[in-house]
Structure 1
């Protein structure tokens, strides 16, 4: 009789602990920032806190469930998932179905708001990893493999552009390039895809003047009255006010409508204001450790598919963290990218926790017993 021994890598425990810590930091900070926001916008200080607690509970369930489901089973339905993603991204653009907020049509609003582009990030990783896994050694079929996949990915990109959500599209394609590179796809094929996407991206950049204005504002930090610079300036004030040890939990002044999007895009700045340099370094350290152990999981993955998915998920989470923190510290133009695990937002949290759950599942591997090897 064959005997299978299941061993869990040490990386499994580290990723789980880091994920829990980031989730706790997020819940604490959302509670701190959102009370004043809830009072001013909903006449209920606990409105956003309750909703985030519900999303946190849902995301924990999602993580635990995906931790138990073999990632190969998820990959098997990746073609179906990519069609679902395209369908949802198309539906959200239809007036009366998708809801427009702040000039962007990105959400379905039921009891809670749902953002399909967040789900699309994770689906793209699974889909592309599965495509490359199926025939990655057959160089003669690489064009036949990549071309239909590229068409689907291009459709998703265009739909996200139309919302518009330029930053999400950029992140998705950065992750795609990383997966293609790790997947050992020939450079000429990667270069061809990059060139096509680059032309599309630059062309779309010039379609809307506000995108160029953001870049110009970023380059011209002296323009304090500009909307983008105003946000960054207020963010830097928040970070500077915290000094080394911070003003203390709940004592932020910038969250009282001085810093726009304090509970989403600029929540890192409030961490700095309330917990100081020590608090921000703690959060940065958690993401650095997440990157380290995520890469370790990819390196130890028992197969090619697991390696690609692990690299994709780790890259997605860490790149978003880098972009968010870079915006908060004035190192990058304002993008609208939230801080994974921490910022207010249900779709982002559930998708990120789902990715962490799949990453945990990949970190499990089988040790084949001598009886199996002999047979």
Structure 2
């Protein structure tokens, strides 16, 4: 008789607090991050636009981000109103489309910074690996919820979830994007953890992950030097190999408690490369100080708490596993980005979700939040609570009507 996997999703915890708390935590955390991101993208891209073309509008790159935000918000709203059945049906199609796009990247993609991970579609750049994260999270939610009792064997782990994840990793690594591959590993680990895979298999997967990283370090021309800079920062040139790492720390240090003020960053003018994406957290610290960086951490904490509530309270294993995967992706990627900026990890080229510039990341991350909102709308008791609460418009009309009668 086959042993049953230790199912961490077997019995939801007894509901505590309001059933709509998860929904509003997601709304609040996402709103904070998007607003902070807009302010910082405007601050960090205006000087890029002016340096590239003195006659260009300083708002050119910011407007591109604003358009991506609008598209992402539409995706968030639509996604939050889709049923769980619809998301289950869409999962294989989203993942399949990402496979096609990842192969297209290898054939006709654009090489940026040594990584081949961009497609040019209609004059716009798109990063298919971002879509792959969402598709993989949803697909793993479907298949692991279906086969979670078979996760005690290596075959049950590999087929079909491991194959799907492995194919995404192979295609991403073929383009040389180690940072994205590490985030995908976190996503897959989060899904399998919530699904209840035995701990001994995590040790095997961790060893395989270390081997993957060591192999990629040997293949890359700059990865080894980044590790050396991280391990020996005292021996590197602040204007050379450790320019990003050192200037990121200088930006954080100069911000102090309150920061230099909106738009007043000095490092963004040339000292800090990638100030608008990979090192935007450093500029947050420089312009808004410890208060600003703390606010960003609180916002990601809200999202983490909301995802924990989904995993613990929801009755549908698909929701639990997919939410765990999305949470490991968004929160895990944020922690990697922040750890790089403060010097706890070597530079990896991973943006800060919902904050950094980059249309692909922003759009797909907002759609992922829309998925989480759809899950939260179907939490036990949530639909009844929403139905019992009058809408904002109805409450406003009632207040106005009472005022007129008075």
TM-score normalised to the size of structure 2? Answer: 0.84
Per the alignment, residue 297 of structure 2 pairs with: 284
Report how far residue 281 of structure 1 moved.
1.1
CA RMSD of aligned residues (A): 2.1
Report how far residue 320 of structure 1 moved.
1.1
SS of the residue 1:32 aligns to: helix
User: Per the alignment, do residues 39 and 74 of structure 1 end up closer, same or farther by CA in structure 2, a change over 3 Å counting?
Assistant: same
CA distance in 2, matches of 1:192, 1:258: 42
CA distance in 1, matches of 2:249, 2:199: 40
SS of the residue 2:289 aligns to: helix
CA distance in 2, matches of 1:271, 1:311: 28
1:116 has 2:149 as partner? no
CA distance in 1, matches of 2:154, 2:143: 10
SS of the residue 1:245 aligns to: coil
User: Per the alignment, do residues 308 and 247 of structure 1 end up closer, same or farther by CA in structure 2, a change over 3 Å counting?
Assistant: same
8 Å contact kept, 2:243–2:271? no
Q: How does 1:93-108 map to 2 (within 5 A)?
A: 93-94=106-107, 97-108=108-119
CA distance in 2, matches of 1:206, 1:71: 43
CA distance in 2, matches of 1:222, 1:231: 14
Report how far residue 74 of structure 1 moved.
1.8
2:22 pairs, out of 3, 11, 33, with 11
2:143 pairs, out of 88, 107, 131, with 131
CA distance in 2, matches of 1:139, 1:41: 53
Per the alignment, residue 59 of structure 1 pairs with: 72
1:313 has 2:326 as partner? yes
1:79 has 2:126 as partner? no
CA distance in 1, matches of 2:151, 2:39: 50
CA distance in 1, matches of 2:32, 2:300: 11
Report how far residue 142 of structure 1 moved.
7.1
User: Per the alignment, do residues 362 and 142 of structure 1 end up closer, same or farther by CA in structure 2, a change over 3 Å counting?
Assistant: farther
8 Å contact kept, 1:223–1:229? no
TM-score normalised to the size of structure 1? Answer: 0.90
Report how far residue 351 of structure 1 moved.
1.2
8 Å contact kept, 1:228–1:334? no
8 Å contact kept, 1:125–1:176? yes
Structure 2: runs of 5 or more not aligned? 1-17, 385-406
CA distance in 2, matches of 1:319, 1:197: 16
User: Per the alignment, do residues 189 and 24 of structure 1 end up closer, same or farther by CA in structure 2, a change over 3 Å counting?
Assistant: same
Structure 1: runs of 5 or more not aligned? 1-6, 370-375
8 Å contact kept, 2:91–2:139? yes
Report how far residue 186 of structure 1 moved.
2.8
2:231 pairs, out of 219, 224, 232, with 219
Report how far residue 169 of structure 1 moved.
0.5
My pick for the range that moved more, 358-367 or 256-265, is 358-367
CA distance in 2, matches of 1:183, 1:67: 23
8 Å contact kept, 2:151–2:157? no
1:187 has 2:199 as partner? yes
1:306-343 alpha-carbon deviations (Å, 9 max, x no partner): 11111111121111111111111111110111111111
1:32 has 2:25 as partner? no
1:203 has 2:215 as partner? yes
1:186-234 alpha-carbon deviations (Å, 9 max, x no partner): 3344444444444333223222242122111100011331745211111
Per the alignment, residue 31 of structure 2 pairs with: 20
